[in-house]
């Protein structure tokens, strides 16, 4: 493991080799083919063993300790924090601390102020004294970087709930926002669905400004406890920052004079909006943050903890917890004490469709019972009711799939494309049922195309420039613009459905070609980063009929060759979202190596040296159980701001790459 200049472990410098070993690329091709076939067989066995009896797959979805800290703070706020939960969560949080006292938001990454503040507060709740060495290192690290005042707005909201920060010193977000018409700037549908579901309940919290008694002070996290939030100069009124700063000042003034009847009505409308979007299992959108803030908002509006809405919401939050028995020894020194990690989201639909594709590519017969069972489950998960996406597409019939177990209000285009691709790889005993679901999903996906010809994840034309400029919105991407990876998956799906010549598909292809980076890669919105984007786009372009000799394909192939690591694998660090020096650079990972190989195989490079070296790296780094080690985060929630380690990526994508190397590329269907 290599240490970076900032002291973090687990990352390599942009120009460093990812490992000291090289592979014998002079080995006979037949020997490599045999090694690839054996690796694919072991991966198939591992993946089959992971399938749930109901037919789905789901790997852990690992993010960062803010999820754990905020879960504890919610329970403290509601008065339901129990000792076992606190102890297990604290063990997990302690284990994630860096040597310098900080917490990072991804494996091997630099320390981050907000994550460190929230983790520190959670450990104080668990009884860790501020003078303990690990706590003293953390508080010193925070103070050296500006203290709590340097933390993001969301962190300071959590602190305000306990009086550790003044509500008056937070950006204002009035509940009257719910009244803005859909055509008006900054209406709630100008925000991406994940931000929308979070912001609506937070308008209620912002209006109520609750404070629970703080169980301890946090003076040690301020640079100057007597002056924790020194005033900041206003930006010039001629720029957007200055305009929105002044708008925030006006909203603070309005908070003091807001008509009580109007504000009460706004909060009631917000409550109805929240409750209408609660899923059947009690969650909101299948993701943890909206559920947390929705529970707080409804509680502030008088919903007691035994109310059915609240009870279902709290039960859904319990399902985001991953309990493990692999923690440090308990106080008696005997055995491993349990730890508790909170998933920000759960990904069964995504994992299942990717697993089905991987198994089909890995050589499993198309009518294998595991694949048929997976298709049965995916068909049952189809969404056939209208959701918030209809605000921009009011006449479009519903269809498609979401990412999670329960998220009927927000199906997503990426999952829908990949599910359709998976369904077409299986010989199901009821083909008419499959055809009908595919037809609905394809129709809905085509209807969700944005004006520029590309596709986003959840909404069409969700590209307002204003939400990201609000002082409140400093927690990551809050709009949902089209991206190359989603557009590529849609184009690939349409090609396999015989629609490669459809004008809408051609517009998507044109957008992809126009958005190729100068270096030959494509930016990755939902995976890290240019390796993911390129690994998504090349298979789509060739499936849609672009010849492998096309200049865009050749540029991408050359780029992948230039960023291959000396050990034969590929890797790209999350810092590539912030620093161009990291583009295509990082420790080799199984998933990113697979993405590069999938792209190169689609481009006709099976017998090339980069492919041989990449396949050798996968074969030689495979574990005995058929999987791969991958501590690095290769998934993205918000580029740079929120990173994800999908624990199944280390298996499904390498199997897909190995399978396509051994058995050949899947072929699109004929035009219909």
DSSP 412: B
Total number of domains in the chain: 3
- Which of helix, strand or coil describes residue 396? coil
CATH number of domain containing 671: 1.50.10.20
* Closest-CA residue to 585 (of 668, 649, 519, 536): 519
Both 435 and 525 in one domain: the answer is no
d(CA 80, CA 192): 31
Both 326 and 356 in one domain: the answer is no
Residues whose CB falls within 8 Å of the CB of residue 12, separated by 6 or more in sequence, listed in order:
2, 4, 18, 571, 573, 585, 586, 587
Please give the residue range of the domain that contains residue 423: 347-448
| Beta-ladder partners of 111 | 104
Residues 308/427, Cβ–Cβ less than 8 Å: no
DSSP 150: G
Both 367 and 317 in one domain: the answer is no
| Beta-ladder partners of 278 | 284
Inter-axis angle of helices 503-514 and 484-496, nearest 10:
150
d(CA 240, CA 465): 10
Both 251 and 359 in one domain: the answer is no
* pLDDT at residue 228, rounded to an integer: 86
Q: HEC profile for 468-526?
A: HHCCCCCCCCCCECCCHHHHHHHHHHHHHCCCCCCHHHHHHHHHHHHCCCCCCCCCCCC
Classify residue 325 as exposed, middle or buried by CB count within 10 Å of its CB (0-12, 13-18, 19+). exposed
Both 49 and 72 in one domain: the answer is no
Strand order in the sheet with 642-646: 61-62, 642-646, 635-638
Which residue spans within 93-203 are E strands per DSSP? Answer: none
* Closest-CA residue to 666 (of 543, 565, 577, 536): 543
Cα 670-660-443 angle, rounded to 5 deg: 40
Residues 374/56, Cβ–Cβ less than 8 Å: yes
Catalytic annotation on 629? no
> Alpha-carbon dihedral of residues 634, 637, 638, 642, nearest 10 degrees?
-70
Cα 634-640-642 angle, rounded to 5 deg: 75
Answer whether residue 172 is part of any domain: yes
The catalytically annotated residue of 414, 459, 485, 573 is 414
Q: What's the full length of the chain, in residues?
A: 672
* pLDDT at residue 251, rounded to an integer: 87
d(CA 280, CA 496): 33
Q: Which residue has the tokens 């028995």?
A: 325
Residues whose CB falls within 8 Å of the CB of residue 343, separated by 6 or more in sequence, listed in order:
60, 61, 62, 63, 67, 288, 320, 321, 322
d(CA 331, CA 333): 5
Answer whether residue 462 is part of any domain: no
Report the number of secondary-structure helices (H) and strands (E) in the chain.
Answer: 22, 5
| Burial letters 366-391, b for 16+ CB under 10 A, else e | eebebbbbbbbbbbebbbeeebbbee
pTM of the model: 0.92
Answer whether residue 166 is part of any domain: yes
- Give the dihedral sign, CA 561/563/566/567: negative
Both 494 and 602 in one domain: the answer is yes
Answer whether residue 470 is part of any domain: no
* Closest-CA residue to 479 (of 191, 196, 285, 186): 191
Residue that is last in its domain, among 275, 308, 342: 342
Cα 293-406-87 angle, rounded to 5 deg: 55
Both 323 and 352 in one domain: the answer is no
Residues 597/619, Cβ–Cβ less than 8 Å: no
- Which of helix, strand or coil describes residue 62? strand
Q: Which residue has the tokens 């990904």?
A: 347
Helix extents (H) in 334-455: 348-361, 369-380, 413-423, 431-447
CA max distance for the chain: 80
Residues 357/418, Cβ–Cβ less than 8 Å: yes
Side-chain half-sphere exposure of 221, counting CA atoms within 13 A: 27
pLDDT-flagged residues of the chain (< 70): 1-29, 327-335, 668-672
Answer whether residue 82 is part of any domain: yes
Both 568 and 625 in one domain: the answer is yes
* pLDDT at residue 328, rounded to an integer: 59
* pLDDT at residue 20, rounded to an integer: 32
Q: What is the token pair recorded at 299?
A: 């509680």
Answer whether residue 456 is part of any domain: no
* Closest-CA residue to 637 (of 189, 114, 61): 61
Both 39 and 96 in one domain: the answer is no
Inter-axis angle of helices 590-602 and 530-543, nearest 10:
30
* pLDDT at residue 667, rounded to an integer: 76
Both 569 and 425 in one domain: the answer is no
Both 505 and 399 in one domain: the answer is no
d(CA 462, CA 600): 32
Which whole-number Å values give the CA distances from 239 to 87, 244, 463, in the listed order?
A: 48, 9, 20
Answer whether residue 472 is part of any domain: no
Both 413 and 355 in one domain: the answer is yes
Answer whether residue 17 is part of any domain: no
d(CA 586, CA 657): 20
């Amino acid at each position: 493991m290599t240490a970076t200049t900032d002291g973090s472990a687990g990352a390599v410098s942009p120009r460093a080799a990812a490992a000291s070993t090289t592979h014998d690329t002079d080995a006979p091709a037949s020997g490599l083919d045999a090694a690839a076939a054996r690796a694919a067989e072991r991966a198939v066995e591992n993946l089959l063993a992971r399938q749930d009896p109901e037919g789905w797959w789901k790997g852990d979805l690992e993010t960062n300790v803010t999820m754990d800290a905020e879960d504890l703070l919610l329970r403290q706020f509601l008065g339901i924090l129990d000792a076992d939960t606190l102890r297990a969560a604290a063990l997990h949080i302690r284990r994630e601390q860096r040597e310098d006292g900080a917490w990072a938001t991804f494996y091997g990454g630099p320390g981050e102020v907000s994550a460190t503040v929230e983790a520190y507060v959670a450990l104080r709740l668990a009884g860790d004294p501020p003078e303990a060495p690990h706590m003293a290192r953390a508080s010193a690290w925070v103070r050296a970087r500006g203290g709590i005042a340097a933390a993001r707005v969301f962190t300071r909201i959590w602190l305000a709930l306990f009086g550790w920060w003044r509500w008056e010193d937070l950006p204002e977000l009035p509940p009257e926002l719910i009244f803005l018409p859909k055509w008006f700037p900054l209406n709630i549908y100008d925000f991406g669905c994940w931000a929308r579901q979070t912001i609506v309940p937070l308008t209620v919290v912002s209006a109520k400004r609750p404070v629970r008694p703080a169980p301890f002070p946090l003076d040690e996290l301020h640079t100057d406890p007597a002056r924790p939030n020194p005033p900041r100069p206003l930006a010039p009124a001629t720029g957007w920052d200055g305009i929105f700063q002044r708008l925030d000042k006006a909203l603070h003034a309005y908070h003091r004079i807001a008509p009580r009847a109007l504000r009460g009505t706004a909060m009631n409308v917000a409550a109805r909006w929240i409750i209408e979007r609660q899923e059947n299992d009690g969650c909101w959108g299948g993701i943890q943050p909206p559920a947390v803030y929705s529970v707080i908002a409804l509680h502030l509006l008088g919903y007691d903890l035994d109310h059915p809405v609240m009870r279902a919401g709290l039960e859904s939050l319990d399902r985001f917890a991953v309990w493990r028995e692999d923690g440090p020894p308990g106080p008696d020194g005997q055995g491993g004490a349990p730890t508790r990690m909170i998933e920000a989201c759960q990904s069964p639909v995504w994992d299942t469709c990717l697993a089905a594709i991987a198994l089909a590519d890995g050589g499993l017969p198309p009518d294998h019972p595991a694949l048929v069972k997976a298709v049965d489950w995916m068909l049952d998960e189809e969404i056939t009711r209208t959701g918030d996406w209809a605000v921009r597409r009011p006449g479009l019939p519903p269809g498609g799939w979401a990412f999670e177990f329960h998220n009927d209000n927000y199906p997503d285009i990426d999952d829908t494309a990949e599910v359709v691709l998976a369904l077409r790889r299986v010989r199901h005993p009821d083909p008419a049922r499959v055809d009908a679901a595919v037809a609905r999903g394809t129709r809905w996906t085509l209807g969700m195309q944005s004006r520029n010809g590309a596709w986003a994840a959840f909404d069409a034309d969700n590209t307002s420039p204003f939400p990201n400029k609000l002082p409140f919105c400093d927690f990551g991407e809050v709009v949902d613009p089209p991206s190359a990876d989603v557009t590529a998956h849609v184009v690939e799906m349409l090609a396999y459905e015989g629609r490669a010549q459809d004008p809408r598909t051609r517009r998507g292809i044109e957008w992809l070609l126009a958005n190729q980076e100068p270096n030959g890669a494509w930016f990755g919105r939902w995976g890290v980063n240019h390796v993911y984007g390129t690994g998504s786009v090349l298979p789509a372009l060739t499936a849609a009929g672009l010849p492998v000799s096309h200049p865009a394909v050749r540029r991408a192939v050359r780029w992948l060759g230039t960023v291959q690591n000396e050990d034969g694998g590929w890797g790209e660090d999350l810092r590539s979202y912030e620093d161009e020096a990291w583009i295509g650079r990082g420790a080799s990972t199984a998933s990113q190596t697979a993405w590069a190989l999938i792209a190169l195989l689609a481009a006709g490079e099976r017998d090339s040296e980069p492919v041989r070296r990449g396949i050798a790296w996968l074969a030689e780094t495979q574990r005995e159980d058929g999987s791969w080690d991958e501590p690095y985060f290769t998934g993205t929630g918000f580029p740079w701001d929120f990173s994800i380690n999908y624990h199944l990526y280390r298996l499904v994508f390498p199997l897909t790459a190995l399978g396509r190397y051994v058995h050949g590329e899947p072929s699109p269907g004929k035009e219909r």
